[in-house]
Amino acid sequence: MPGEVSFFWQGWVVGFSIAAPVGPIGVLCIRHSLAGGRWAGFSAGMGAASADSLFALLGAFGLTALSGFLVGQQFWLRLVGGLFLCWLGGRILWTSRLQPTAFDLDRTPAEPLQPLRIYLSTFALTLSNPLTILSFAAVFAGLGLAVGAGAASAGWVVLGVFCGSAAWWLLLSSAAAALRARLSPPVLRWIDRLSGAVILVFGLAILISLSMMR
């Protein structure tokens, strides 16, 4: 049991560390937290945590055939992800202009946020970057985790990755939701527009990087 607990906490640290860098999912988590509260943002984060856990599962159990296939299809997966980010960023900018009261804390948003839809969209978006599998595989190999250590140990590592990633998203969504009550609706609307612009830039950056691969 002590060894299994050690595997869990090492996986926790890996999951937290990989989730923490700011990227499009982080911006989405903050945006949803400001618009719909902590649990809306946490739904976005849990989509990313689930995808990270799937990548960790592939890396930990050495499922090279499936992970190799996903990495081999990275161009098309990232193309879809980049286009989706461009569409999402543009949509946020457009709806922010058309619905100026969306962040009025004294009113109900025109379209209630749907946690399941948010979860599924961020899950799919995170899956569009299969190179994360290689990141997990490299970290596990460097730390001597999971691979060759048995299925039980690998399972504890994957569980730790999920819990560590989920802990980061809960922390981020809670902090953003707490900030929501301190900001005026005009400031929240500008933050919403800024988040849309940042997401759009992330999408364009992915598409530009793909054009250099061909």
Cα 113 to the center of its chain, rounded Å: 17
Residue 198: strand, helix, or coil: helix
79 assigned to some structural domain = no
**Ranges of the chain whose pLDDT falls below 70:** 1-4, 62-71, 96-113, 130-131, 134, 137-150, 213-214
Q: What does the pLDDT read at residue 11?
A: 85
How many structural domains does the chain have? 1
Q: If residue 25 lies in a helix (H) or strand (E), which one and from where to where?
A: helix 24-36
126 assigned to some structural domain = yes
Q: What does the pLDDT read at residue 75?
A: 80
Domain of 178 in residue numbering reads as 2-74+93-185
Q: What does the pLDDT read at residue 142?
A: 65
- Asked if residues 67 and 195 have their Cβ atoms less than 8 Å apart, the reply is no
Q: What phi and psi, each to the nearest 5 degrees, are found at residue 150?
A: 105, 155
Q: What phi and psi, each to the nearest 5 degrees, are found at residue 2?
A: -55, -40
211 assigned to some structural domain = no
56 assigned to some structural domain = yes
Q: What does the pLDDT read at residue 4?
A: 66
Per the structure block, which two tokens stand in for 122?
């961020």
104 assigned to some structural domain = yes
Q: Count Cβ neighbours within 10 Å for each residue of 102-129 and write b for 16 or more, e otherwise.
A: bbeeeeeeeeebebeebbebbbebbbbb
190 assigned to some structural domain = no
138 assigned to some structural domain = yes
Q: Count Cβ neighbours within 10 Å for each residue of 45-55 and write b for 16 or more, e otherwise.
A: bbbbbbbbbbb
Q: Is the pTM of this model over 0.85?
A: no
Cα 138 to the center of its chain, rounded Å: 20
82 assigned to some structural domain = no
- Asked if residues 116 and 40 have their Cβ atoms less than 8 Å apart, the reply is no
Q: What does the pLDDT read at residue 105?
A: 42
